[in-house]
């Protein structure tokens, strides 16, 4: 039964590590049945339950250490995860792939932008073809483009490992959209509508056409020209495409193609001179056709846009691209996705930059130490699924840990107190990478106040990678102890982290709050993502003499 006990402890540790520090005896019994098919469970139960009890009594640091040791060795029972694959494109071979993504450059690139960009890139990597990044910058009123942000996007695409073959801005093509509107008017498929919005909606909801729809093409063209010359002002008229007024979805009925904007805000100086601006569906359709796009991945909310756009494609005798749709990202770990909540925090001044760790921007993710490989894995694993998706922080953490492997570990003391150890014999230890020679007879250590308060006078503890002591006094202000031995033989002594010297740490948390604390000076030699005992992983952002600033990553 010795081997059964050893294996039960191994899998109890694995189960406890994966489930918040508490192993489930039933799960461990299942593992033992798989490992030892002929095992008499009744006889083995004392050994299994004893192993589970031992794992559940381990401190977080000890549990993680043992888990990582077993992880390195490998598991006898391995969970074989089904490889995530994207749907095949059956039409490849008949057509060469030409694809695009079209983000709105009104703010920093976020996971919502990254999802179609990465999924599209997976197909380009698989099949080859042309990948175009086209900025959908034709909203001069609500989602006004940010000057120069295209460079940021290109940098983010490179960081994600995406190679772009061509870039374009929709705002450079206003005259092309005008040409298509004119052609549709000439074909009798579009009209200039002067109806008051609410009245028009009432008619359309009853599947009735408005009076403007009945005017002949010549009159429609004259009114269109007045829109272009700005004789017609904002809010007075819009251009609409004629669709099926009996379509079961009222929003598809005679959707708007173009409208007048009086005061244009736009970084594109030439476009800023224009007063007629296209709808998303007009601009996207014209550009996709012009660029010979034959494959699109986009959010499920665009499925309705496909229905709308197909009217335009049919009238212009164009071929509609192959399209795949993914669902909405409803939750991403501890990051804010709600635009209203973000807007509220911005108004209060709580969020002042687009790399705030509460946000799901790529800047914020990078600041928290997430790797592009981890982001790609999360997105590819979600796949092209039209259902709503939720990504837990645990999934994000697991993906990032698999990329980073083992990272440097440091303590995090929110409040440090001193412990004096007496009768210390000559010896050596290690304090987070720094070799320490002990010459005694008195050694003074800094320990975490909360950690020290968990122990009582008379208890034997082990200073991590140093020596064992018996606690003589424990108080709010520190403690006194007597040296016991350097021996590591008795692994049951509680292990206490300690510092000989300290460095200040500022830790920016994922909720925007800051934790102040102390850690080992060796952190000044570290970089990237590290692990703070009892707190979690963090990304080192800045270092100065005596101060390290970090951003919390995940637990």
Confidence of residue 552 (pLDDT cuts 50, 70, 90): very high
Residue 21 scores a pLDDT above 90: no
pLDDT, the chain, mean: 93
Beta-ladder partners of 420:
444, 480
pLDDT of residue 1: 76
Query: For residue 425, what are its two tokens?
Result: 């014999």
Q: At a CB cut-off of 8 Å and minimum separation 6, what does 443 contact? A: 420, 421, 424
* Apex 296 CA angle, 291 and 301, nearest 5: 125
Residue 78 scores a pLDDT above 60: no
- What percent of the chain shows pLDDT beyond 70? 98
**Fold for the domain defined by 173-281:** 3.90.800
C-alpha R_g of the chain: 32
pLDDT of residue 350: 87
pLDDT of residue 3: 85
Residue 216 scores a pLDDT above 80: yes
Beta-ladder partners of 133:
101, 167
pLDDT of residue 522: 94
Mean pLDDT confidence for 118-131: 97
pLDDT of residue 80: 45
Q: pLDDT (tens digit, 9 = 90+) per residue, 333-372?
A: 899 887 778 878 888 888 889 999 999 999 999 999 999 9
**DSSP code per residue over 179-245:** HHHHHHHHTT-EEEE-S-HHHHHHHHHTT---GGGGS-HHHHHHHHHHHHTTSSPTTT-EEEE---T
The Cα 396–Cα 374 span in angstroms is: 7
Mean pLDDT confidence for 51-63: 90
Q: Report the predicted TM-score, pTM, of the whole model to 2 decimal places.
A: 0.82
Q: Are 127 and 89 in contact (CB under 8 A)?
A: yes
Residue 156 scores a pLDDT above 60: yes
The Cα 71–Cα 63 span in angstroms is: 12
- Domain residue spans of the chain: 2-73, 173-281, 420-496, 501-554
pLDDT of residue 490: 59
Residue 491 scores a pLDDT above 80: no
Residue 92 scores a pLDDT above 90: yes
Confidence of residue 312 (pLDDT cuts 50, 70, 90): very high
Q: pLDDT (tens digit, 9 = 90+) per residue, 412-470?
A: 999 999 999 999 999 999 999 999 999 989 999 999 999 999 999 999 999 999 999 99
pLDDT of residue 22: 87
Compute CA distances 56 → 60, 62, 188, 319, 495, whole Å. 10, 11, 76, 63, 16
The Cα 207–Cα 213 span in angstroms is: 13
Question: Does domain 501-554 sit in CATH 2.40.240.100?
Answer: yes
Residue 131 scores a pLDDT above 70: yes
CA dihedral defined by 521, 525, 530, 531, rounded to 10 degrees? -30
């Amino acid at each position: 039964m010795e081997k059964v006990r050893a294996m039960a402890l191994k899998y109890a540790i694995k189960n406890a590590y994966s489930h918040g520090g508490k192993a489930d005896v039933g799960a461990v019994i299942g593992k033992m049945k798989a490992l030892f098919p002929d095992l008499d469970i009744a006889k083995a139960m004392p050994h299994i339950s004893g192993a589970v009890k031992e794992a559940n009594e381990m401190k977080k640091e000890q549990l993680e250490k043992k888990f990582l040791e077993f992880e390195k060795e490998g598991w006898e029972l391995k969970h074989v995860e089904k490889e995530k694959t994207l749907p095949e494109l059956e039409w490849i071979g008949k057509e060469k792939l030409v694809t695009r993504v079209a983000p709105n450059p009104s703010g920093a690139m976020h996971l919502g932008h990254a999802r179609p960009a990465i999924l599209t890139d997976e197909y380009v990597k698989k099949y080859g073809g042309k990948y175009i990044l086209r900025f959908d910058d034709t909203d001069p009123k609500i989602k006004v483009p940010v000057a120069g942000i295209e460079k940021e996007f290109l940098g983010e695409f490179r960081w994600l490992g995406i190679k772009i073959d061509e870039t374009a801005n929709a705002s450079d093509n206003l005259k092309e959209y005008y040409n298509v509107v004119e052609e549709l008017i000439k074909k009798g498929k579009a009209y200039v509508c002067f109806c008051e919005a609410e009245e028009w909606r009432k008619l359309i909801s009853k599947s009735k056409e408005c009076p403007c729809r009945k005017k002949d093409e010549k009159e429609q063209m004259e009114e269109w020209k007045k829109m272009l010359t700005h004789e017609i002002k904002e809010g007075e008229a819009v251009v609409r495409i004629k669709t099926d007024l009996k379509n079961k979805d009222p929003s598809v009925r005679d959707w708007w193609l173009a409208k007048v904007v009086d005061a244009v805000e736009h970084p594109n100086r030439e476009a800023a001179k224009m007063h007629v601006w296209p709808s998303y569906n007009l601009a996207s359709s014209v550009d996709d056709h012009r660029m010979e796009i034959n494959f699109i991945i986009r959010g499920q909310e665009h499925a309705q846009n496909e229905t709308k756009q197909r009217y335009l494609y049919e009238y212009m005798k164009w071929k509609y691209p192959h399209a795949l749709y993914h669902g909405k990202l409803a939750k991403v770990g501890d990051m804010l996705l709600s635009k209203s909540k973000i807007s509220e925090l911005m108004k209060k001044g709580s969020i002042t930059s687009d790399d705030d760790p509460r946000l799901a921007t790529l800047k914020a993710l990078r600041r928290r130490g997430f790797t592009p490989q981890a982001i790609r894995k999360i997105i590819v694993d979600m796949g092209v699924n039209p259902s709503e998706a939720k990504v837990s922080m645990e999934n994000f953490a697991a993906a990032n840990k698999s990329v980073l492997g083992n990272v440097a570990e440091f303590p995090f003391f929110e409040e440090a107190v001193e412990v004096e150890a007496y009768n210390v014999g000559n010896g050596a230890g290690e304090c987070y990478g720094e070799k320490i020679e002990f010459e005694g007879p008195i050694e003074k250590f800094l320990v975490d106040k909360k950690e020290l308060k968990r122990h009582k006078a008379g208890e034997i503890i082990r200073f991590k990678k140093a020596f064992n002591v018996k606690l003589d006094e424990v108080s709010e202000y520190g403690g006194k102890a007597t040296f016991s031995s350097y021996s590591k033989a008795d692994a049951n002594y509680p292990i206490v982290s300690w510092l000989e010297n300290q460095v200040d740490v500022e830790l920016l948390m994922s909720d925007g709050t800051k934790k102040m604390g102390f850690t080992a000076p060796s952190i000044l030699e570290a970089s990237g993502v590290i692990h703070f005992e009892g707190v979690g992983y963090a990304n080192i952002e800045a270092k100065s003499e005596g101060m390290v600033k970090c951003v919390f990553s995940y637990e």
